Amino acid sequence: MTQATEPLKAAPRRHDREILALALPAFGALVAEPLFVLADSAIVGHLGTPQLAGLGIAAALLTTAVSVFVFLAYATTAAVSRRVGAGDLKAAIRQGMDGIWLALLLGAAVIAFVLPTAPWLVTAFGASDTVAPYAVTYLRISALGIPAMLMVLAATGVLRGLQDTRTPLYVAVAGFAVNAGLNAALVYGAGLGIAGSAWGTVIAQCAMAGAYLVVVVRGARRHGASLRPDAAGIRACAQAGVPLLVRTLSLRAILMIATAVAARLGDADIAAHQILLSLWSLLAYALDAIAIAGQAIIGRYLGADDTEGAKAACRRMVQWGIASGVVLGLALIAARPLIVPLFTSDPLVVHTLLPALVVVAVSQPVNGVVFVLDGVLMGAGDGRYLAWAMLATLAVFAPAAVLVPVLGGGLTLLWCAMTLMMLVRLVTLQLRSRSGRWLVAGATR
């Protein structure tokens, strides 16, 4: 039976199987990533407050540096999945190798920048004289692992494009276990202190990159794809990544503006804001798993010249996004009595947090659709539109957020502005989705 003659009831079930098969392992891998920082924090925290503060500053800088290049995963997924849909696995893996080579080049550039500027970066981040030496030590050592981190991003994109999200899950879980073990052994067993934690993370990241390379190289040899760097291919990957870089930087600017405004509202507000942002990010991992499935599935359909299949998959994933958002929102409201005490016992922080937490919960269905459509358009390679849409969102959010303290509003009003930001994204993404202009079929866009 062909897809064209497939019974109407069977098509949603087929899409459900595809979405679940890709989204569930992707969610596990996404959740495993922040566990690296949690493990480091738990181990370093016992060394002392200055060491833990130094780790916090260095980790924030490293996370920002790596997240800027997340396009290595997104753009690679879209390009590889199109080739898979077209039935050209050799070209798909070749495309993936170009992304990995680009990751190595960018990683080398970041190292060249971070090593000499580490003291300045740490000072600019507000580190005290007591904390700065620990932050610089951790930052300089961990920076050596940035090429491996970026390779992991690119290789993850390759495997997602090949419709494989299980391997990234296995590598992420193994990487977390190795990282935790090495940290404990080097920090306490070898007596290296915070430097031992940094070296443990670098070794774990390099091991993860090595595991990915083994998988990709095997695939390249199996299908006769070249492993050598190709200047034209690397340049094409970089050009495809520029719009997604603009999108990511715009989103980071939105989050930074929100944090800066919260800090101006008062100590209780910034403390409550950090809790909300942590919860918002955790829920985003669940919704982003569906978006990752969308990137891989949509790219494959378009590569196979099946625009009707792409539209049907998009509709089904939007339904998944709405349902997931409703479930997560209700769960967040129901779990408030259990969640809040985990983060704070300060009555003022709790009083500030609770009404804003309701806003976060109510906005989850909107977030679910936004994440899904974001993934769909990424899978279609529609990065230029995503860049302009996010710049427009930033232009709406920035003045709205700045007006919060001017109007005498508190944290709840700030998170209403965050919800406005997601609604603007929803409108821009819905307009593009309904226009059908993203439905560009073929092995390349």
Cα pseudo-dihedral 257, 294, 18, 90, rounded to 10: -120
Sign of CA dihedral 99, 82, 67, 145: negative
Query: In 3D, which of 386, 438, 60 has the Cα closest to residue 243?
Result: 386
pTM here? 0.85
Task: Read off the pLDDT of residues 334-386 as tens digits, 9 standing for 90 and up.
Answer: 988 888 887 777 788 888 889 999 999 999 999 999 999 999 999 999 999 99
Q: Which residue has the tokens 């995963």?
A: 73
Distance separating alpha carbons of residues 152 and 73, to the nearest angstrom: 8
Which pLDDT value is given to residue 346? 77
The token pair at 415 is 């998170």
Q: Is 302 helix (H, G, I), strand (E, B) or coil?
A: helix
DSSP one-letter string for 40-92: HHHHHTTT-HHHHHHHHHHHHHHHHHHHHTTHHHHHHHHHHHHHHHTT-HHHH
Q: What is the DSSP letter of 305?
A: T
Q: Is the dihedral of CA 409, 410, 412, 414 positive or negative?
A: positive
Phi, psi of 230 (to 5 degrees): -120, 115
Distance from chain centroid for Cα 63: 10
Q: What is the pLDDT of residue 35?
A: 67
- ∠ CA(148), CA(154), CA(156), 5° rounding? 100
Phi-psi region of 97 (alpha: psi -120 to 50; beta: other; left: phi over 0): alpha
Which helix (H) or strand (E) is 320 found in, with range?
helix 307-334
Residues (pLDDT < 70) of the chain are 1-11, 32-38
Q: The tokens of 358 are what?
A: 């309701």
Q: DSSP code of 9? A: T
SS3 346: coil
Task: Give per-residue burial for 110-134: e unless 16+ CB within 10 Å, then b.
Answer: beeebeeebeebbeebebeeebbbb
CA torsion 245→285→65→231, rounded to 10°? -50
Tokens for 209, please give them. Answer: 């990159």
Residue with tokens 């600019």, as numbered in its chain: 124
